[in-house]
Chain A
Amino acid sequence: MLNGSTSYDVTNYYEAVPSNALERVLWLEADRMRALKVDDENLKNQRDVVKEEVRVNVMNQPYGGFPWLDMPPVAFRNWANAHNFYGDFADLDAADLADVQSFFKTYYVPNNAVLLVLGDVKAEEGIALAKKHFGEIPAGAPPPFADPSEPEQAEERRGNVEEKFGRLPAMAIGYVLPKRRTVDWCAMALLDQALHGGRAGRMHRELVLEKQIAVDAGGGIDDIFGYNGPTQMTTRILHKPEYSNEATLQAFDAVIREVQEKGISADELEQLKVKWRSDYFATLEGGRGGYMPKYGLMHLLACFTLFDNDPQLVNTILDGFLAVTREEIQAVAKKYLRNERRAIVFRTPVKAGVPADAGAKEAA
C-alpha cells in the first residue's frame, strides 16, 4: 500500500509494508528526497493526469469542489489562502521542468520534513536506519515561508457558484477558527461537535429533522490538527428548493443564536467530550483508503512535529479539550460565530428543481 496526498500546509508520501521490507522503503524514500529525475514527457503526462482529476472530481461531478474549492476565494483575501488549489488549467499548462526542480530544491529538503516509522520496529533500530539512509542527504537553505495571515475581516462575505448537475440548492457557511492551540480553539472544537456531531448535531436535528428545510446539513472542522494557517468551520446545507436561500439561512442563524444565548447544558457538554475523545481515538486508529495501518497516528505525529515541534502532543493534546467549560463554549459562540467573521457560498442549480406549480415557502 502506498500513496501520497497534498493539503494546505503539508504534502505526504506513505507506505505500509511487511516489516521485512522496511529498509527497502526507507531507501526508496531517501532516494527521492535526494534527487528527483523527471523529464518533459513525465511532466506533460502528469499535467494531463491532474487535469483529468479536476475534470472528474470537480467539473463533471455534482457539487464538485463544493465547498472546498468554492469557499477560499470568497472567504480569504491573502492569495496564499484564497487561490484555486487544484489549479487553473492555464497555470498548470505554464508549469515547466524548471519550476519542478526549483520547487523540489526549495521545499523538499530534509530540514523541511519529518520521517515517520510506525509499527513493527524497535525505536533504536528505526532511528539507526533513518540515519543510515537519510543522514547523508545535505540540508538545504531554510525554505521561505509566505505569511498566510489574513487582514482583519469586518463584513460578511458572500459568493455564488453555478451548479450544473444537481437540482437542489446548496450553501456553505464558514467561520474562521480561533488560533491553533488556544483555549478558544479547544472550545470551538467542542462547539463544532455540538453543531455538526453527526445526526445528533444541532444542525441536522434542527434543519433536517425538525424544520425539514434541508435534506442534508452537516460539515464542521475538517482535520483540525492538520492546519497551520487560517481555516474555517464550515456548515454545508443542501435544502429543498421551495425554501429560499434567505429562509434557509434564517433557520441556520436560529441554531447559532440559540447556542449563543443559551449555551449548552452540563449533560450535553459531558456527551460532547465523550464523543470528541472517542473520535480522537478513532482518528488515531484510523486507516486510509481501504487499508493504510496507523495513518491517523502518523498524520498527527507529523503535524505535531512540523507545526509544533512536539510529537508528544499526541498524548497530551486531549487534555485541553476535556478541560473546556460551558462558559468557554458559549463565549466562543458569541465571539467567533458573528456575521462579520463568516463567508457564505451559494451553489445555485442552473436547472431549477421545483415543479412549476409549487410556490416558495417561508421558513416555519
Chain B
Amino acid sequence: MPNSLAIIGAGRVGRALGRRLRELGWKIGAVVTRSDASARRAVRFIGAGKACARMTRQILASRVILIATPDDEIAIVGQELARIGEEELRGKVVLHTSGAMDSRVLDALQMQGATVGSMHPLQSFSGVAVPSLEGKVFTIEGETHAVRVARQIARALGGSPVHIAGSKKILYHAAAAMAAGHVLALEEAAMQLLLSLGMRRSEAVRALLPLTRQVLENLETLGPRAAWTGPLSRGDYKVVRAHLDALQESPEEFAQAYDMLSHLAARVLAKDAAGMLAELEKISLEKKPKAEAIGGQCVKRLQIRMESTKLANGLNVVVAPDTTAPVVTVGVYYKIGFRLEPRGRSGFAHLFEHMMFQGSANAPKMHTSSWSIPVAAC
C-alpha cells in the first residue's frame, strides 16, 4: 500500500491534511492524540483511521507518518517512535508540519533507517475547518526521499511545493510571521486609532480594510515600488514628522512602530534608501525622549512607569509598579503642613500627626504599629 498515512497529533493541521488525503484516496492508519475522546473526534472528522490515545506499534503499519504536534513535542514524539519502531522504521517516511523547525529534530528516527523531512503548508488553519489548500505554498525540506514524498503530497493537495534549505527554515518562518501576525497587528493598531477618534469598529473596518486589500493587490500586479503610497513614498518628511507628533498621545509602541516601519519602508522600497534613512534618522532623534549630552555622553531620560487616577471622591492615586523585590511601599500624603495650622495653634500640624497614630474607628491605638509584627513573620 504505497499511499498510507499515520497521523500523530490531530490538531487543526493534522486533521485537515488527513481529511483531504483521505478524500484523495489515501489509506489512513493510526490517528494518535492525547486522549481517547479527542482521537475518536479526529477520526470522525477525517472520516477514516484508527483512534489511538498513545504511541502504538499500529503507527508502523503506514508508509508515511505525519507528526503534526505542537513544535515542543516533535522531538519527544520522534524519540518515542524510534524506541517502539526500531528496525521496522527502515523505509518509512516521517514528516513533521512545523514551520519553525527543520527535519534535524527527527534525528532519532533517521538513525533507525527512516527518511525524515518537514512539510509546512503556508496557510492559516484558524477559523475554518478545512481550508482550501489549492495553490498554497508547501515549504519542504529534508532527505531526498522524504522531500520527494512531501512534494507528491503537496501536489496531490493542489498545493505548490517549494524546497528550502533546512538551516534557513527559521528565517522562512520569521518571514511568514511578519506577513501574517505582524500585518494583523499593524492593521488592528490602525483600527484602534480610528476607534479613538470615535468611529465604530464596523466603520473603521470599512475604512481601512479596502485600503489594505488594494495595496496588496497592487503589490501583486504592479510590484512593490509602484504599489507604495503615502507621504513617505513622496518624500514628504513634514507629514511624517506630524504623524509622529500626533502619535505621541497613543501608547508608545504606536509611535515606535511607525518610526521603525518608516525606516523599514525606506530600506526595502525607496530608490535612494540611504538618503531616506538619513532623513528619517533626523526625525527619530527629534522625537526620541530628550537625551542630554553631558560630559560628551548621551543620557537617556528617566522612564519610571506609573499609573495615576483620581477617584470619584477626589482622592489622587498613583501606582508605580516595580517587581524587583517582594516589597510594597504605601504612602498617604495630605496637603496640610505647618503653614496652614490655625493661628494660636502653632505646632498643631505636627501634634495632629501624632494623633493619627492614636487609633481609628476600627483599629485601636497601637494596632497601627503592632500589626507589623505578625506580617513580618509571614
Residues of A within 8 A of B (CB): 1-2, 4-22, 24-26, 28-29, 31-38, 42-43, 46-47, 49-50, 79-81, 83-88, 91-92, 94-95, 99-100, 103-104, 107-124, 126-127, 130-131, 134-139, 143, 145-146, 148, 229, 270, 273-274, 277, 284, 292-295, 297-299, 301-303, 305-306, 311-312, 314-316, 318-319, 322-323
Contacts and interface: CB of A to CB of B under 8 A. Distances in A.
A312 B328 contact: no
Contacts of A109: 314
25 contacts: A6-B353, A9-B339, A12-B331, A14-B331, A28-B363, A28-B371, A32-B360, A32-B363, A35-B361, A37-B359, A85-B349, A87-B348, A91-B348, A92-B351, A108-B336, A115-B332, A116-B317, A117-B328, A118-B319, A123-B307, A126-B319, A274-B294, A305-B316, A322-B294, A323-B292
Contacts of A121: 319, 321, 328
B339 A91 contact: no
Nearest to B338: A85
Contacts of B307: 123-124, 126-127
A104 B320 contact: no
A146 B343 CA distance: 11
B335 A130 contact: no
Interface in B22-67: none
Q: Which 7 A-B pairs have the closest CB atoms?
A: A87-B347, A111-B314, A126-B319, A110-B315, A32-B360, A302-B333, A114-B316
Contacts of A130: 311, 315, 317, 319
B378 interface: yes
A116 B329 contact: yes
B323 interface: yes
B311 A131 contact: yes
A96 to B, nearest CB: 10
Contact of B338 (A8, A15, A22): A8
Given A20-B378, A126-B307, A305 B318 contact: yes
A25 B330 contact: yes
Contacts of B152: none
B246 interface: no
A116 B331 contact: yes
B317 A104 contact: no
A104 B318 contact: no
A302 B309 CA distance: 13
B221 interface: no
Nearest to A295: B329
B357 interface: yes
Contacts of B356: 4, 13, 32, 36
Given A137-B315, A274-B295, A100 B352 contact: yes
A303 B335 CA distance: 9
B298 interface: no
Nearest to A79: B343
Nearest to A138: B313
B331 A311 contact: no
Given A31-B363, A36-B360, A6 B318 contact: no
Contact of B325 (A37, A50, A120, A137): A120
A37 B360 CA distance: 5
A20 B328 CA distance: 9
A99 B317 CA distance: 28
Interface of B: 290, 292, 294-295, 299, 301-309, 311-365, 367-369, 371-372, 375-376, 378
A17 B360 contact: no
Given A110-B314, A135-B312, A7 B337 contact: yes
A137 B357 CA distance: 19
A50 B330 contact: no
A327 B309 CA distance: 40
- Tell me which of B301, B303, B354 has the highest count of chain A C-beta atoms within 10 A of its own C-beta: B354
Contacts of A124: 307
B137 to A, nearest CB: 43
B290 to A, nearest CB: 6
A94 B332 contact: no
A19 B327 CA distance: 5
A13 B339 contact: no
Contact of B319 (A15, A107, A127, A303): A127
Contacts of B336: 9-11, 107-108, 112, 143
A85 B318 contact: no
Contact of A127 (B294, B309, B337, B349): B309
Contact of A112 (B299, B335, B354): B335
Contact of B375 (A24, A86, A112, A118): A24
B316 A306 contact: yes
A117 to B, nearest CB: 5
> Which of B309, B320, B359, B375 counts the most A-chain CB atoms under 10 A from its CB?
B320
A119 B347 contact: no
A322 B294 CA distance: 9
Given A9-B335, A32-B360, A126-B321, A42 B345 contact: no
A31 B360 contact: yes
Nearest to A300: B304
B375 A18 contact: yes
Nearest to B358: A42
A78 to B, nearest CB: 9
Contacts of B323: 119-120
A53 B351 CA distance: 11
A122 B363 CA distance: 27
A88 to B, nearest CB: 5
Contacts of B319: 116-118, 121, 123, 126-127, 130
Contacts of B349: 6, 11, 85
Nearest to B375: A21
Nearest to B377: A18
Contact of B328 (A50, A118, A134, A318): A118
A265 B215 CA distance: 59
Contacts of A107: 334-336, 340
A108 B169 CA distance: 65
B316 to A, nearest CB: 4
Given A85-B347, A121-B321, A274-B294, A292 B329 contact: yes
Given A87-B346, A92-B351, A311-B318, A13 B332 contact: yes
Given A47-B351, A99-B345, A29 B358 contact: no
Q: Which of B294, B319, B369 has the most CB of A within 10 A?
A: B319
Nearest to B319: A126
A131 B310 CA distance: 10
Given A31-B363, A126-B307, A277-B299, A6 B337 contact: yes
Contacts of A43: 355
A118 B306 CA distance: 9
